[in-house]
Amino acid sequence: MPVAPPRPTDLPLTALRAFEAAARLGGFSAAAQELGVTPGAVTAHVKALEARLAARLFIRGPKGVELTALGARVLPEFTAAFDALGLAVHHLRAESAPKIVHIATLPALAQLWLSPRLPGLRAQMPGVEISITAMEAPPNLKRAPYDLSLFPGREGRLVAEEVIFPVCAPQLAARLTRPEDLADLPCLIDSAWAEDWQDWAAVAMPGTAFRPRGPVFSLYALAVEEAANGAGVLMAHGSLVAGHLARGQLVAPLPQRVRLPTALRLWSARSLKPGHPAERVARALRAP
């Protein structure tokens, strides 16, 4: 009679994914954030995997975890495998729903830069559905279900240069005729781009120990609206306040402008075929 030996049990894919993420990112908390689970869940998956293997993959210490020699040896293969799986899933999604384009971007870019352009994109591409997800950091497009990533950076298609300068409501402009006047005005500070003030002051006010004083905002779009309401002076990103400047809601009284080393860029993890909706969206958004 035919022999049917029991098939060896596979290692759980979820546990392997938890190991790869923790190993690549250097910790269970970072892996949990990427995977959308709790650090305790990542820890449990890794412990279960180590128990199945009867081998340690991490060395636990008071300052975190480190890979064992075994973990370090196998990590590149698992990273390549999960990257390949993620790209295959991207391809499957694109083939099954070719007229849906998912874009990940900063909340401020979604509200102030992308939103005004969506009507034009819809008019250019009838039938194409454009979904926007706002997040604070660029996703790993090899794994995350997005077609395009729009963030300040150094890689990808150039969309707009990052140029910063002070802006305020028209009624405050008379009080801001030189950089030194900022010491007597509230300076609106965005918590994510708090260093913008110092970057600009280093060029516009060299040798001056300038420290901005004023309210802090975690939403850049809210800081822009407060500047337009006359609450103070905001260090603006030119591409994000272009509409407010054009409508006269904000003015830029000072001539000094500083170009940042990063630029607004559009990036995709896979090659976009000419004519594909994602490629058409990317082409429509990039700099002329």
User: Distance between CA atoms of 167 and 229, rounded to whole angstroms?
Assistant: 12
Q: To the nearest 10°, the Cα dihedral for 38, 269, 80, 136?
A: -20
Residue 63 has what pLDDT?
A: 86
Total domains in the chain come to: 3
Distance CA 244, CA 250 (A): 5
pLDDT at residue 288 above 70? no
- Would you say residue 240 lies in a domain? yes
d(CA 223, CA 201): 19
Average pLDDT score, the chain: 92
Q: Is the pLDDT of residue 152 over 60?
A: yes
Helix (H, G, I), strand (E, B) or coil at 119: helix
CB 164 within 8 A of CB 238: yes
Do 239 and 166 share a structural domain?
Answer: yes
At 42-61, the pLDDT tens digits run: 999 999 999 999 999 999 98
Tens of pLDDT, residues 16-52:
999 999 999 999 999 999 898 999 999 999 999 999 9
pTM of the model: 0.80
Statement to judge: residues 254 and 276 lie in one domain: no
pLDDT digits (tens, 9 = 90+) for 223-242: 999 999 999 999 999 999 99
Instruction: Examine the domain organization and report whether 170 and 255 are in the same domain.
Output: yes
Identity (one letter) of the amino acid at 129? E
- Coil vs helix vs strand at 201: helix
What is the Cα–Cα distance from 179 to 166, expressed in whole angstroms? 9
Residue 253 and residue 250: Cα distance in Å, rounded? 10
77-90 mean pLDDT = 91
| Statement: residue 172 has pLDDT above 70 | yes
Residues 232, 166, single domain; the answer is yes
Report if residue 189 sits inside a domain: yes
Domain that holds residue 68: 13-86
Three-class DSSP category at 278: helix
Give percent of the chain with pLDDT exceeding 70: 98
* 170 plus 44 within the same structural domain: no
Segment among 2-6, 7-11, 83-87, 209-213 with least mean pLDDT: 2-6
Instruction: Please give the pLDDT value at position 58.
Output: 96
Based on the fold, state whether residues 136 and 249 are members of the same structural domain: no
Predicted local confidence at residue 130, as pLDDT: 93
